[in-house]
Amino acid sequence: MDSITNTKRKVYRFGHRQTDGDRTMRNLLGGKGANLAEMSRLGIPVPPGLTITTEVCTEYNAIGKEATVELIAEEVREAIKQIEAEMDTVFGEDKNPLLLSVRSGARVSMPGMMDTVLNLGLNDVSVLGVAKKTNNERFAWDSYRRFVQMYGSVVMGMKPENKEDEDPFEEQIHQTKEARGISLDTEFTVEDLKNLVVDFKKLIKERTGQDFPTDPWEQLWGAIMAVFDSWNGDRAVYYRKINGYPPDWGTAVNVQAMVFGNMGENSATGVCFTRDAATGANQFNGEYLINAQGEDVVAGVRTPQQITLEGSKHWAELAKLSEKERAAKYPSLQEVMPKLYQELFRYQNQLEIHYRDMQDMEFTIQDGKLWILQTRNGKRTGAAMVKIAVDLLKEGMIDEKEALLQILPEKLDELLHPVFDPRALKRAKVIAQGLPASPGAATGQIVFFADEANKFKNSILVRTETSPEDLEGMDLAKGILTARGGMTSHAAVVARGMGKCCVSGAGALKINYKKRTMTVDGHEYHEGDWISLNGTTGNIIDGKVATMEPLLSGEFAEIMTLADKYATMKVRANADTPKDAKTARNFGAQGIGLARTEHMFFEGNRIMTMREMILADTIKGRKLALEALLPMQRNDFEGLFEALHGHPVTIRLLDPPLHEFVPHQLATQKELAEDLHISLAAVKNKVAELHEFNPMLGHRGCRLGITYPEITEMQTRAIIEAALNVKEKGIEVKPEIMVPLVGTLEEFESQEEVIKQTAETVFQEYGDRVDYLIGTMIEVPRAALMADAIAQRADFFSFGTNDLTQMTFGYSRDDAGKFMSYYLEKGILKADPFEVLDQEGVGQLVALGAKKGRSTKPDLKVGICGEHGGEPSSVEFCHDNGLDYVSCSPFRVPIARVAAAQAAL
């Protein structure tokens, strides 16, 4: 037995002679490595190779380059022997050299985030050997110039000096093309390629001061370490940040025998998807290039061709080409290499069934033989995610639970975004068309550089093509437009992953980075000009286009029904107006968890009456103003009860400090004085009186209702009268009155008494009753600690995790912006606790409060109504702590429903 079958191995092999890993080993081998091993096991033609584990990456960060080489050298050498045997070549040999690719691969796919080097092992001597062996001089030199280019960028750090500049190698390529009067890479002669190799090496020496390494082993160690380094490169760090992946996962390195798509007309490379990643349609699709290497398709070097005849016809139709023109200009792989297409079709089918999910695959055809280089669960839009899950379920490939678990709750958000209003689209001026790379509607102002995406509130990033460097800007922009690159280009894949609208490959655009212009059909657009993108059709539109709410698909409804079937926790919405309440019901909310009554006071001229109430000097004056507010509140509550039709409605009594309602500017103060027929000085006095040093900890919440019981009286009356009125119409009502900011049992009791008395009075007046509950928010830490006492009286608890977070951390929510981003950057906080519930700390109070409350009252109803109620990991936490419901903003209800179901599974 050879030495690398030891237990604590660092290198795993794959290939047809020996495969050590399998698909279950993603964490150790990375997604790419685990799947290469799995495909080898399935008998799919995969070039043999080895995977260096993610653990080595972590170790590398601690011990550095030389020690890492020492650590793995022996195992790597052993594994390379296997590759040599399978490929019948020798690594480092001159006449018959084994050439390698060095590829990164973390446990989750991070397309293009880390680096790859192809054709490694070539030098001035072995390139001649390859030329002779393959009898193809052009191929040998093309591979060599690609290798020098990639190694130069990835390992030796060559990059453009300014952002307006082109990549130094690409610039050299363009110059050569211009000098020779050609436009395509494929038109280079052997002489051209030889010159490029010399020029590239010279450039590298000039810029880096280093010689290009000639020893293949030196090349190999350099490339492996560069892949490890790329795990901590800017792109990967940012990608991890936006996706919340921890830095200690590390990346694996795959070293694999090269297969060549650039060997001539009988060779090709491509990318394909088992289903449509934009719409989810069950349609095999993809793109390929004849006589090219992997990166060419993704990087948008040439605009690729369609794999299927159907796809090719579709694009030709958009370009208004006849069938004859199509066949000449857009030949599909299905027509050009029908046998290989059939073989590819079989593998894609096999892999989708095997992985039971949509696959995104890479392949290369070397001189008439098909090789599969990668498979992974494909990135997709939110719409495609929902459709694919439902389709796979219907096809019997997965069961209901698996379908639910395929949904990334956050991605549902995309489906709820506005779309272009079809009426506005009819009038829109379409200036050009590209590929509908990622659906959606985007309107914004043009920027040409990713790091300037924040120049405007709504920007559209316009690029010739995007590169992984642009990730942050793509994330900030409202939409992405590229002149080059197909449906599988970097821009397209990343945009779909982000759920961002993208139009790619719009060949009619001429972009000039230096002048910051985009020219279409003779018209020049400048930075800051408004354009709109329709990611569903590929249309590029002049100016702004109006949008509207989206229509939700039948598949969306099916997923929601499934979610409710498996969720044990209910999902309610925070809604303050009948309109929001209706939206919430449409999204499937099973109640209102929080209606903030103060929001109602800002509508129309109600604020005047409210101010009158606040400014009143006597109880009598205050009562008069309250009487005027009563019918308005009652009306709102009736709207809520009607919209909810028998589902519970939790209404919170007045909460914010009163100074929020009075004017602070002189002009409005004057106006108020006139309206109320009092002096300006009186208004000013009152405003000054209401001033507090810490309003968040001041006269607010139940402290208001306790000091001004007439407010609680009026609000209770409005709630109970509304409930009785709606009940009268034959609609079931479930009012729940919620007392805010309670910290002691006595505070609660004081409000409870006012509420009960008022309700009884109203019942007598009406000669009718309704059932109602009186509960409290748990948002002051003391309330959580005293929950057993408070539960003696309260019918329900609702954790107000916004205030609870604020008071537990001692961070003012309104001032935390000053230090929060710094804290996040420095890792002092892992996530913003106002977005993601701090389970460790604040979570203890939630768990304790629920437990203590139920120790007094076992059937106490417990929910949560902070922003966290719609955040999937917080929803799971609530489920685990036995909460009855979460309540979140209406648009997050679908997300919370799926998260609740997933927590239950």
User: Between 101 and 716, whose beta carbon lies closer to ligand ADP?
Assistant: 101
Give the angle 789-791-796 at the CA atoms, nearest 5°. 155
In the complex, least distance from residue 803 CB atom to Mg ion, rounded to whole angstroms: 4
Number of residues counted as binding ligand ADP (CB under 6 A): 18
SS3 at position 196:
helix
Token pair in block for residue 312: 């090719």
In the complex, least distance from residue 200 CB atom to ligand ADP, rounded to whole angstroms: 19
CB 509 within 8 A of CB 463: no
Q: Which stretch binds ligand ADP (CB under 6 A): 170-178, 233-241, 255-263, 739-747?
A: 255-263
Active site residue 865: yes
Active site residue 490: yes
Q: Can you tell me the distance from the alpha carbon of 874 to that of 589, in angstroms, rounded to the nearest whole number?
A: 18
β-partners of residue 739 are: 776
The CA-to-CA distance between both ends of the chain, in Å, stands at 44
User: Using CB under 5 A as the criterion, what x/- string covers residues 349-388 for binding Mg ion?
Assistant: -------------------------x--------------
Look up residue 330 and give its DSSP letter. S
Q: Can you tell me the distance from the alpha carbon of 678 to that of 672, in angstroms, rounded to the nearest whole number?
A: 8
User: Using CB under 6 A as the criterion, what x/- string covers residues 290-319 for binding ligand ADP?
Assistant: ----xx--x---------------------
Under the binding rule (CB under 6 A), the answer on residue 111 touching ligand ADP is yes
Q: Which of the choices Mg ion, ligand ADP, none does residue 803 contact, using the CB cut-off of 5 to 8 A by kind? A: Mg ion
Token pair in block for residue 260: 């060549």
Site for Mg ion in 285-324 (CB under 5 A): none
Q: Which segments of 645-695 does DSSP mark as H helices, in order?
A: 666-676, 680-690
Q: Can you tell me the distance from the alpha carbon of 31 to that of 357, in angstroms, rounded to the nearest whole number?
A: 15
Token pair in block for residue 15: 């290939």
Instruction: Name residues whose C-beta falls within 8 Å of residue 637's C-beta, 6 or more positions apart in sequence.
Output: 649, 651, 718, 719, 722, 723, 735
Q: Which of the choices Mg ion, ligand ADP, none does residue 295 contact, using the CB cut-off of 5 to 8 A by kind? A: ligand ADP
User: Between 115 and 867, whose beta carbon lies closer to ligand ADP?
Assistant: 115
CB 491 within 8 A of CB 462: no
Write the burial class of residue 781 (CB in 10 Å: 0-12 exposed, 13-18 middle, 19+ buried).
middle
User: Between 87 and 804, whose beta carbon lies closer to ligand ADP?
Assistant: 87
Under the binding rule (CB under 6 A), the answer on residue 103 touching ligand ADP is yes
625-664: b (≥16 Cβ within 10 Å) or e: bbeebbebbbebbbbbbbbbeebbbbbbbbbbbbbebbbe
User: Between 271 and 613, whose beta carbon lies closer to ligand ADP?
Assistant: 271
Under the binding rule (CB under 5 A), the answer on residue 121 touching Mg ion is no
CB 654 within 8 A of CB 715: yes
Phi and psi of 403, rounded to 5°? -60, -45
Q: Which of the choices Mg ion, ligand ADP, none does residue 433 contact, using the CB cut-off of 5 to 8 A by kind? A: none
Q: Contact with ligand ADP (CB under 6 A): which of 31, 47, 701, 843? A: 47
Q: Contact with ligand ADP (CB under 6 A): which of 373, 447, 493, 592? A: 373
Sheet-wide strand order for 435-438: 430-433, 539-542, 530-534, 441-447, 459-463, 479-482, 501-504, 435-438
Q: Which of the choices ligand ADP, Mg ion, none does residue 871 contact, using the CB cut-off of 5 to 8 A by kind? A: none
Ramachandran area for residue 437 (φ above 0: left; ψ -120 to 50: alpha; else beta): alpha
User: Using CB under 6 A as the criterion, what x/- string covers residues 504-533 for binding ligand ADP?
Assistant: ------------------------------
User: Between 373 and 589, whose beta carbon lies closer to ligand ADP?
Assistant: 373
Q: Which of the choices Mg ion, ligand ADP, none does residue 258 contact, using the CB cut-off of 5 to 8 A by kind? A: ligand ADP
Write the burial class of residue 488 (CB in 10 Å: 0-12 exposed, 13-18 middle, 19+ buried).
buried
Residue with tokens 């079709």: 345
Q: Which of the choices ligand ADP, Mg ion, none does residue 886 contact, using the CB cut-off of 5 to 8 A by kind? A: none
In the complex, least distance from residue 588 CB atom to ligand ADP, rounded to whole angstroms: 38
User: Of 57, 490, 879, 888, which one is the catalytic site residue?
Assistant: 490
Q: H-helix or E-strand containing 284?
A: none
In the complex, least distance from residue 281 CB atom to ligand ADP, rounded to whole angstroms: 24
User: Between 47 and 535, whose beta carbon lies closer to ligand ADP?
Assistant: 47
Q: Contact with ligand ADP (CB under 6 A): which of 11, 79, 118, 742? A: 118
Site for Mg ion in 791-810 (CB under 5 A): 800, 803
**Residue at shortest CB range from ligand ADP:** 294
In the complex, least distance from residue 59 CB atom to ligand ADP, rounded to whole angstroms: 22
Number of residues counted as binding Mg ion (CB under 5 A): 4
Q: Can you tell me the distance from the alpha carbon of 583 to that of 621, in angstroms, rounded to the nearest whole number?
A: 38
User: Of 865, 868, 878, 879, which one is the catalytic site residue?
Assistant: 865
- The footprint of Mg ion (CB under 5 A) covers 374, 779, 800, 803
Task: Give the catalytic positions in this structure.
Answer: 490, 865
- The footprint of ligand ADP (CB under 6 A) covers 47, 101, 103, 111-112, 116, 118, 256-259, 294-295, 298, 362, 364, 373-374
